[in-house]
A and B are shown apart, each in its own frame.
Chain A
């Protein structure tokens, strides 16, 4: 009976154990094999189910019931037979048992016609056939039984009545004992006959009956006798019939039939049992195979998955080990390195991971430990940290920037992540930052430049709607940006202006050419001039770039005005103005109409110097032009020309204006010359007069001095005489001082006039400069002390001891300078600085010679510089010039003392 199982299991195992190399199979084969195996599995399960169900086919209840029915059938049949026999023998006097059992049997037959389901078709058919036969037999039996019962009843009837009848007859025929005995004999024989199965007694009984009938009887009893005989005959006839029926009934093969059914059923039952067993076996087999197959499959799958896991493990380990980034796992609390890959070790400056795993702490490598604390904090809060930058120092001491991302495993207290060296990146970043900064700076510059621009850029469409507006300076907008964008010019500007705008927009759109227009707008409270460049941008839009040219316009206007003013000025100037190039070509000629020139026609822009002047004058002019261009200094010369038969003197001023251009101004100074001549003559006269005056004064002052000296002499004698009281002494002192003062004044006047008359003779002599300076110092010491001032002489260390010059004059000058200083200083001090230098050095007011002095020979000329400084109030600048004009007192002096201060003028004159 074993058919499918081995086949299936072979296939199954194959598919199970050939799964060892999943990676090498194509997806199609994978799908196919999995499909096949699942199909097999499904088939196997179904097979198991089938077998199981089949094995459970036998319903034992049904079986036992059927069996019971069969048994019952046989029992009933037997009982019926038994009852029939009993009935025949008169032991069963009522027939209910028989008929009830017949009915029961019919019921059973209905039940039996449904054999149990586990009987196979063949069995069912056979059973049915047998049952049909049985049923047929049963019907026969029933009919026979009915007939039997019927006949038996008749028999019983007669049997029970015969004795009664006989006794009746006997009673009636009391006188006939023979009859009685005959009847009794008959009865006996009948009964015997009835009880026996043979017919032996029949003829005897017949004979007896005949005999009886022949016996004469009375009429009353005749009927009874006949009745008796009739009953006897009935018995005689009926009993064999009944016996015959019984035989027939017994002969019916109901038992055999039922036995056959039972046996057939048993046979088929056994068959079913066997089949069930087989199925069960098959079930066990198949299920075992299935289970083992599944187990094998699982094992192979496990192996395969283990392999895959191993491969994955290897793969991941490779990735881990060979990764270009450092992968690590460290303990959070102290940074102990739990796991690391090669790259990580390299990053820290180690050769292998063994040196760091379990031995070093990441905290050791942080440049800033606070970074780690910060990182840990972030890690603890968020559970992960991304792109954390910090600096590590490697084992060899070098530092690098690193970037890491990690995830924490809180329960186990470690973090794992990846780290890369970003030193290079950082460098690049820094560079980039710098570039960015530069860019930003330039951008800012550009922006401020841009902001300084004054353009307003708009985009208009065909209807004059402003689509875009870019304005660097919002102050230059008619209306703010929001009010202009998406509005038409008609909404923004006055009607005429808007039409003007619109016209131009349309024009540009028509012609597709850029136009430039200038117009003025009221912006705020100012009328601003704008120059706009309108260019087509697309089919329906134009680009309107407007620049504020108000300042330009203003400049233009101003320029025009100044030009006009200039022109007017030029026309008012009586001089001839020329602009000439270095080669003598006149570039511009400006002159009023009044100006007389030699040759008006030849004097215009484009002509040359040589065209308008005689040759020698032209050459002279050229010379000065060249000179002016070279030196860049104003050249002035005079030339004499004959114009229209008149002799003119002209002053020519040449000034270089550009590299190769000069401006020439020619002025007619003929009149001036004449005036000058006159003036000169008058000055001469005046000077002569002045000189005469001075001579007079000099003579006069000499005359004045003589009596004064006498006065002073005697006064001093009187003082020194000593026979005076203090009051008189004071008085004399006063007289003495005043006299001296007067003497000084006279001396001064004399000196002045001497100088004026030109009669100053420098008496050069050799004298001791040092002693002069000492005397000077001594002289003013008393004055200075009395005023509370400081007098300081600063002499250069190598100041010459002896010099040759007019001592007296020098003394005079120094006395005057220092005296004035002292006079006009109320507090502080006066300082005299004396320095010298070789003559050819330009005297510098303040600085001593800076060490480049050459050693001078005794007779070489030197310059000695005397500088007087004081801390007095000073003299106003305006007054300085006036000081050195003769006979002028500064205002300051006027305020203080009313003394003519000749000193200054004198001083100025002398050094000159």
Chain B
């Protein structure tokens, strides 16, 4: 080619670069990186039920091993510092998932100063607690564990105590890759609580189409429940538990009752909003027949009493006995089955 080798070299070099640049660009063009736009998520079919109350799903898929583990933990007194209390102590499944007390008493002082809410169907609730300060069951677990009136312990202590039990260690290691720690412990308890749903109450059967599941009285009660507007708050799958409401819409309950405790302030304790004074999270009426006493202060011993109070303060009307009875019967039909067995007494 050229006599001068250096020149040749430089030319070759330039040709080299040019060639590589061209090929690179070509390649890039050939390959398009832009992927297909992501498929839109399938539109959710929202079919709304005509009835304001929905039946509890008959079966919710859960990891049975975790449920079993959670059940063991739920009943284990090792969760408490004094080794005498477990979750079960207050959330007695035989007692409708709550206790039969007005206020929980565990020794020194009253816990929460509110009536224990049932653990059944608690996962369906929008917020947990009378003041709705817990976003979910998982979030609420810290409260009973740390509160000296309840378990009075710490998660670390519980984990340490449980770690000494080989069965727990083994079980946790089997189910969770990380083994036994605070997160997995909470998860086990949460999963267990998710398993505490009570489907197939007679009312659910009625909703599903079995008109014969309810008696005429119960049906009449349901009608009343709807027409009197109770269903405005006590609606949804859990017959309540998904909104906040003032206790005493048409009347001042607390003024009439007197003896205001901090617990009576309700949601105000959580939000500090004046508008939330005496506002409570609406409780679920599922299995309400089993969870006496009623209201946050457990002031209503019977269902009829509760209905009467509700009628007075939320409706401004004193209901007749018949009406109360009808509604009460209806409410009783809300008792479901746990693990295939009806909770109705």
* A interface list, Cβ under 8 A from B: 5-6, 9-10, 13-14, 17, 58, 60, 63-65, 67-68, 71-72, 75, 79, 86, 91-97, 99-100, 102-103, 106, 143, 146-147, 149-150, 152-154, 156-161, 164-165, 224, 227, 230-231, 234, 273, 276-277, 280-285, 288-289, 292-293, 296
A528 to chain B, nearest CB (A): 99
- Flag if A150 contacts B246 (CB, 8 Å): yes
Is B161 at the interface (CB under 8 A from chain A)? no
- Flag if B231 contacts A93 (CB, 8 Å): yes
Instruction: State in angstroms the CA–CA spacing of A897 and B202 once bound together.
Output: 197
Q: With contacts A161-B229, A273-B33 known, is A289 near B20, CB below 8 A? A: yes
Is B27 at the interface (CB under 8 A from chain A)? yes
Q: Find A281's partner among B24, B46, B231 (CB 8 Å cutoff).
A: B24
A267 to chain B, nearest CB (A): 15
As a 0/1 sequence over residues 30 to 45 of chain B, the CB contacts with chain A under 8 angstroms (1 = contact) are 0101110110110010
Is B49 at the interface (CB under 8 A from chain A)? yes
- Flag if A153 contacts B232 (CB, 8 Å): yes
- The 3 nearest A-B residue pairs measured at CB: A284-B24, A288-B20, A157-B229
Q: Find B233's partner among A60, A106, A143, A153 (CB 8 Å cutoff).
A: A153
- Flag if A68 contacts B38 (CB, 8 Å): yes
Q: Find B34's partner among A91, A153, A273, A285 (CB 8 Å cutoff).
A: A273
Instruction: State in angstroms the CA–CA spacing of A146 and B24 once bound together.
Output: 58
Q: Find B315's partner among A13, A153, A161 (CB 8 Å cutoff).
A: A161
Q: With contacts A9-B13, A60-B35 known, is A99 near B126, CB below 8 A? A: yes
Q: With contacts A58-B33, A281-B25, A292-B20 known, is A160 near B232, CB below 8 A? A: yes
- Flag if A284 contacts B33 (CB, 8 Å): no
Is B23 at the interface (CB under 8 A from chain A)? yes
- Flag if A284 contacts B27 (CB, 8 Å): yes
Instruction: State in angstroms the CA–CA spacing of A754 and B220 once bound together.
Output: 227
Is B227 at the interface (CB under 8 A from chain A)? yes
B96 to chain A, nearest CB (A): 22
- Flag if B16 contacts A96 (CB, 8 Å): no
- Flag if A154 contacts B17 (CB, 8 Å): no
Q: Find B44's partner among A58, A79, A146, A158 (CB 8 Å cutoff).
A: A79
- Flag if B23 contacts A68 (CB, 8 Å): no
- Beta-carbon nearest neighbor of B317 in chain A: A227
Interchain residue pairs with CB less than 8 A apart (27): A6-B17, A14-B9, A65-B38, A71-B40, A72-B41, A94-B54, A97-B46, A97-B48, A147-B275, A150-B243, A150-B244, A153-B233, A153-B245, A154-B249, A157-B314, A230-B250, A277-B33, A280-B31, A281-B24, A281-B25, A284-B24, A284-B25, A285-B24, A289-B16, A289-B17, A292-B19, A296-B16
* B interface list, Cβ under 8 A from A: 9, 12-13, 16-17, 19-21, 23-25, 27-28, 31, 33-35, 37-38, 40-41, 44, 46, 48-54, 126, 135-136, 226-233, 235-238, 242-246, 249-250, 271, 275, 279, 314-317
Instruction: State in angstroms the CA–CA spacing of A91 and B21 once bound together.
Output: 65
Instruction: State in angstroms the CA–CA spacing of A9 and B236 once bound together.
Output: 71
Residues of B within 8 A of A164 (CB): 227-228
A71-B40, A99-B243 known, 18 other contacts, Cβ within 8 Å = A17-B9, A63-B38, A96-B237, A97-B46, A99-B242, A150-B246, A153-B233, A153-B245, A154-B249, A156-B232, A157-B249, A159-B229, A230-B250, A230-B316, A277-B33, A280-B33, A285-B21, A288-B23
- Flag if B316 contacts A13 (CB, 8 Å): no
Residues of A within 8 A of B12 (CB): 13, 17, 296
A284 to chain B, nearest CB (A): 3
- Flag if B41 contacts A75 (CB, 8 Å): yes
- Beta-carbon nearest neighbor of A293 in chain B: B16
B124 to chain A, nearest CB (A): 8
- Flag if B236 contacts A94 (CB, 8 Å): yes
Q: Find B28's partner among A14, A234, A273, A277 (CB 8 Å cutoff).
A: A277
A271 to chain B, nearest CB (A): 13
- Flag if A68 contacts B41 (CB, 8 Å): yes
- Flag if B317 contacts A160 (CB, 8 Å): no
- Flag if B317 contacts A94 (CB, 8 Å): no
Instruction: State in angstroms the CA–CA spacing of A450 and B293 once bound together.
Output: 143
- Flag if A157 contacts B317 (CB, 8 Å): no
B166 to chain A, nearest CB (A): 36
Instruction: State in angstroms the CA–CA spacing of A284 and B231 once bound together.
Output: 68
Q: Find A96's partner among B19, B34, B242 (CB 8 Å cutoff).
A: B242
- Beta-carbon nearest neighbor of B15 in chain A: A292
A39 to chain B, nearest CB (A): 19
Instruction: State in angstroms the CA–CA spacing of A770 and B233 once bound together.
Output: 207
Residues of B within 8 A of A9 (CB): 13, 16-17, 20
Residues of B within 8 A of A161 (CB): 227-229, 315, 317
Q: Find A150's partner among B24, B238, B245 (CB 8 Å cutoff).
A: B245
Residues of A within 8 A of B228 (CB): 160-161, 164
- Flag if A153 contacts B243 (CB, 8 Å): yes
Residues of B within 8 A of A153 (CB): 232-233, 243, 245
Q: Find B19's partner among A86, A92, A288 (CB 8 Å cutoff).
A: A288
Instruction: State in angstroms the CA–CA spacing of A14 and B48 once bound together.
Output: 77
Residues of A within 8 A of B229 (CB): 156-161
- Beta-carbon nearest neighbor of A285 in chain B: B24
- Flag if A67 contacts B9 (CB, 8 Å): no
Instruction: State in angstroms the CA–CA spacing of A64 and B317 once bound together.
Output: 56
Residues of A within 8 A of B135 (CB): 103, 106
Residues of A within 8 A of B235 (CB): 93-96
Residues of A within 8 A of B279 (CB): 150
Residues of B within 8 A of A280 (CB): 28, 31, 33
Residues of A within 8 A of B249 (CB): 154, 157, 234
- Flag if A281 contacts B28 (CB, 8 Å): yes
Instruction: State in angstroms the CA–CA spacing of A94 and B238 once bound together.
Output: 10
A497 to chain B, nearest CB (A): 100
Q: With contacts A93-B231, A150-B244 known, is A284 near B28, CB below 8 A? A: yes
- Flag if B13 contacts A288 (CB, 8 Å): no
Residues of B within 8 A of A276 (CB): 33
Instruction: State in angstroms the CA–CA spacing of A6 and B51 once bound together.
Output: 74
Residues of B within 8 A of A6 (CB): 17
Residues of B within 8 A of A67 (CB): 37-38
A255 to chain B, nearest CB (A): 17
Instruction: State in angstroms the CA–CA spacing of A161 and B314 once bound together.
Output: 11
Residues of A within 8 A of B33 (CB): 58, 273, 276-277, 280
Instruction: State in angstroms the CA–CA spacing of A156 and B231 once bound together.
Output: 9
Instruction: State in angstroms the CA–CA spacing of A721 and B317 once bound together.
Output: 244
- Flag if A231 contacts B316 (CB, 8 Å): yes
- Beta-carbon nearest neighbor of B267 in chain A: A146
- Beta-carbon nearest neighbor of A95 in chain B: B242
- Beta-carbon nearest neighbor of A60 in chain B: B35
Instruction: State in angstroms the CA–CA spacing of A425 and B216 once bound together.
Output: 141
Residues of B within 8 A of A234 (CB): 249-250
A804 to chain B, nearest CB (A): 137
- Beta-carbon nearest neighbor of B50 in chain A: A93
Residues of B within 8 A of A94 (CB): 49, 52-54, 235-237, 242
- Flag if B126 contacts A103 (CB, 8 Å): yes
B20 to chain A, nearest CB (A): 3
Instruction: State in angstroms the CA–CA spacing of A296 and B17 once bound together.
Output: 13
Residues of A within 8 A of B28 (CB): 277, 280-281, 284
- Beta-carbon nearest neighbor of B16 in chain A: A292
Instruction: State in angstroms the CA–CA spacing of A5 and B20 once bound together.
Output: 10
Q: Find B38's partner among A64, A79, A273, A296 (CB 8 Å cutoff).
A: A64
- Flag if B16 contacts A227 (CB, 8 Å): no
Instruction: State in angstroms the CA–CA spacing of A99 and B235 once bound together.
Output: 12
Residues of A within 8 A of B242 (CB): 94-96, 99, 149
Residues of B within 8 A of A224 (CB): 317
Residues of B within 8 A of A149 (CB): 242-244
Residues of A within 8 A of B136 (CB): 103
Q: Find A92's partner among B16, B48, B230, B316 (CB 8 Å cutoff).
A: B48
Q: With contacts A13-B16, A161-B227, A276-B33 known, is A95 near B23, CB below 8 A? A: no
A241 to chain B, nearest CB (A): 11
Residues of B within 8 A of A72 (CB): 41
Residues of A within 8 A of B35 (CB): 60, 63-64
